[in-house]
Amino acid sequence: MRIPLNRSAQEPIYLQIRDRIKHLITSGSLQAGEQLPSIRALAESVQVNKLTVIEAYSVLEADGLVEAKQGAGYFVTNFVTDNVNFSERSSTLEPAQEVVIPSKWGESFIDQYMSSIQAQLDPDVIDFTSGFPRPSGLEDLARISRRAMTQVADVLFSYDAPQGQFTLRKQLAQMLAWKLGLEVSADNLIITNGSKQALSLAFQYYLQAGDWAIVESPTYHGAIAILEKMGIKVIGIPMQKDGMNLELLHQYLRSHQPKLIYTVSTLHNPTGITTSQAHRRELISLAEKYNCPILEDNAYEGLNFQPAPPPLKVLDSSDLVTYIGTFSKTLMPGLRVGYMVSSGKHYQSLVEIKLLHDLHVSTVTQAIASEYIASGHYRRHLNHLRSINHQRHDLMLQSMEQYFPSTVRWTVPNGGLFIWVQLPNSTPLQLVSQQAATQKVLIGSGKVFFPDGQGYPALRLNFSQSLENIERGICLLGDILKQNI
Ligand SMILES: Cc1ncc(COP(=O)(O)O)c(C=O)c1O
């Protein structure tokens, strides 16, 4: 392989190697499945250190262009080919919905969360209801955690700053800029106990009991539950195939002067929908017109199979958007490390609320996340996760096509963890759910995601299961649906 290098150029050598190999792959000179030269061979032929080649291969791996096979070396991936299969399917979702202003609240997020925690204890249960990712890369995590813990004696022992450790905030700022085009600095970041805490803090900052707030309908039930407890009056704007209905949003911004719009713009929970750049632009311009802050929850950041449009925060020139992310879905939910990005006058107020709440996130868990990023494992791990999730996502869709009645509709998300299934209106969902539970398949009910617990009959199916469980569970569920629809 010929890799011309310009040793006096500003661009680091490993990136020059990456660019050349990327060019060979995208131009078709290197084909899917073809093996790259070994690290040693390439280092000798281009006369660089082996570490430089490792770094170049790691970046290619993180970009999804090559994959490492244990003991065999690096190979060009089938990633591009996989995406072609993926994009052939498209969402069939077609709900007829109206705006929801709940007078009573829906089923409890707390009950559903507790039953998913319980379900984890029984290895025979297939739990399609939870939002939990499947464990992966645990050996690396254990090793990296031990390394991070060695700092306890010096830097990690003491109380720390409420906004979180500078190193982690700086790494996050770099990652957000590099991956999402979100140009922020460490001084815009606050590390939180998961993104759930970031949600609570932002809701507390922007809202008071009796205020109106806009949410998508359906939306993340954990957010609905906090708003309910705070005594917030919620307006649920219907989610269509391409995101929240902006005409209705406009109408309610005008009529109710809400104090906040809560949105999951990428890999929405529960529908998996990612809004387009045009939708994002329009949403921002409406928010600006009515001076209404936006809370952008990007909990599934990094789990998209194909690039998503830049977050709303990138389009924000008036400090209206607070952005939220987390390591829960990509690295480890038990770590409880999330973050928020805020700008302008809001930042310091949010830091103070965080301080009053619990001082700061554990220094140890922050150090683990930081070490994970610094070691280069995070990029590789994300890539691996995307590839196994993609396989599971495709299998779930294939199995649904094969086993579900033809009247059932669903979304085809570009990543994340969920497929949202719309059932015919006559479906006796409670009965279906009970029958599935007797066979150890948990499906719950999509009602929890609607602000008033009503909505249309639907299911949120989590595809982060083993391939075997996906096929078996969907086949079983298909039989039950056919008996009841
Ligand atoms: C949309 C959304 N936001 C926030 C969270 C909270 O996640 P964590 O607190 O683990 O970061 C979740 C978890 O399922 C979620 O789906």
230-276 confidence digits (pLDDT tens)? 999 999 999 999 999 999 999 999 999 999 999 999 999 999 999 99
Which pair of tokens denotes residue 93? 């979702």
What pLDDT is recorded for position 135?
84
> What are the backbone dihedrals phi and psi of residue 393, each rounded to the nearest 5 degrees, phi first?
-60, -45
Omega of the bond leading into 270 within 30 degrees of 0 (cis): yes
Which pair of tokens denotes residue 154? 């010096």
Nearest by Cα to 65 from 363, 380, 312: 380
What pLDDT is recorded for position 149?
87
- Angle at the Cα of 109 from the Cα atoms of 141 and 332, rounded to 5 degrees: 5
What pLDDT is recorded for position 106?
62
Q: Which residues contact 472 (CB under 8 A, 6 or more apart)?
A: 126
Q: Is the pLDDT of residue 172 over 70?
A: yes
pLDDT digits (tens, 9 = 90+) for 82-120: 333 444 688 999 888 899 898 877 667 888 888 888 888
Burial class of residue 38 (count of CB atoms within 10 Å of its CB; 0-12, 13-18, 19+): middle
Locate the ligand 1 atom nearest the alpha carbon of residue 336 and give its number. 10
Please tell me if the CB atom of residue 194 comes closer than 6 angstroms to any atom of ligand 1: yes
Give mean pLDDT, residues 305-318.
Answer: 93
Please tell me if the CB atom of residue 297 comes closer than 6 angstroms to any atom of ligand 1: yes
Please tell me if the CB atom of residue 331 comes closer than 6 angstroms to any atom of ligand 1: no
Reported as a pLDDT band with limits 50, 70 and 90, residue 451 is very high
Give mean pLDDT, residues 291-298.
Answer: 98
What pLDDT is recorded for position 82?
38
Q: Is the pLDDT of residue 152 over 80?
A: no
Say which CATH class 107-135+379-484 falls into: alpha beta
CB of 67 closer than 8 Å to CB of 61:
yes
Q: Is the pLDDT of residue 383 over 50?
A: yes
Going from the Cα of 53 to the center of ligand 1, the distance in angstroms, rounded, reads: 37
Q: Which residues contact 434 (CB under 8 A, 6 or more apart)?
A: none
Give mean pLDDT, residues 338-367.
Answer: 97
Give mean pLDDT, residues 176-184.
Answer: 90
Question: Residue 152 is inside which H or E element, if any?
Answer: none
Give mean pLDDT, residues 445-462.
Answer: 93
Task: Enter the pTM of the model.
Answer: 0.83
Q: Which residues contact 243 (CB under 8 A, 6 or more apart)?
A: 216, 265, 268, 273, 275, 276, 279
Give mean pLDDT, residues 302-317.
Answer: 93
Give mean pLDDT, residues 391-413.
Answer: 96
CB of 291 closer than 8 Å to CB of 246:
no
For residue 309, the SS3 value is coil
Distances (CA, A) of 26 to 75, 80, 100, 419, 477: 14, 9, 48, 31, 41
- Angle at the Cα of 219 from the Cα atoms of 173 and 127, rounded to 5 degrees: 95
Question: Residue 195 is inside which H or E element, if any?
Answer: helix 194-206
Going from the Cα of 192 to the center of ligand 1, the distance in angstroms, rounded, reads: 12
Q: CB 254: neighbour CB atoms within 10 A?
A: 11
What pLDDT is recorded for position 88?
67
pLDDT digits (tens, 9 = 90+) for 205-235: 999 999 999 999 999 999 999 999 999 999 9
Computed over every residue of the chain, the mean pLDDT equals 91
Going from the Cα of 322 to the center of ligand 1, the distance in angstroms, rounded, reads: 15
Q: Is the pLDDT of residue 155 over 90?
A: no
For residue 325, the SS3 value is strand
Residue type, 231: G
From the options 1.10.4030.10, 1.10.10.10, 1.10.3720.10, 3.40.50.150, give the CATH code of 13-77: 1.10.10.10
Locate the ligand 1 atom nearest the alpha carbon of residue 338 and give its number. 11
Reported as a pLDDT band with limits 50, 70 and 90, residue 132 is confident
What pLDDT is recorded for position 83?
38
Rounded to an integer, what distance in angstroms lies between the CA atom of residue 238 and that of residue 217?
Answer: 5
- The residue ranking higher by pLDDT, 191 or 94, is 191
Going from the Cα of 253 to the center of ligand 1, the distance in angstroms, rounded, reads: 26
Residue among 326, 361, 448, 449 to mutate when testing ligand 1 (max atoms within 8 A of CB): 326
Omega of the bond leading into 310 within 30 degrees of 0 (cis): no
What pLDDT is recorded for position 87?
47
The rounded percent of the chain whose pLDDT value lies above 70 is 97
Please tell me if the CB atom of residue 131 comes closer than 6 angstroms to any atom of ligand 1: yes
Going from the Cα of 6 to the center of ligand 1, the distance in angstroms, rounded, reads: 45
Please tell me if the CB atom of residue 301 comes closer than 6 angstroms to any atom of ligand 1: no
Give mean pLDDT, residues 425-430.
Answer: 94
What pLDDT is recorded for position 115?
84
Say which CATH class 138-376 falls into: alpha beta
What pLDDT is recorded for position 184?
95
Q: Is the pLDDT of residue 378 over 50?
A: yes
Rounded to an integer, what distance in angstroms lies between the CA atom of residue 218 and that of residue 375?
Answer: 38
Q: What are the structural domain ranges in the chain? A: 13-77, 107-135+379-484, 138-376
Largest CA distance in the chain: 71
Q: Which DSSP letter does residue 153 get? A: I
Give mean pLDDT, residues 323-345.
Answer: 96
Going from the Cα of 89 to the center of ligand 1, the distance in angstroms, rounded, reads: 27
Give the lowest-confidence range in 55-59, 145-149, 248-252, 445-449.
55-59
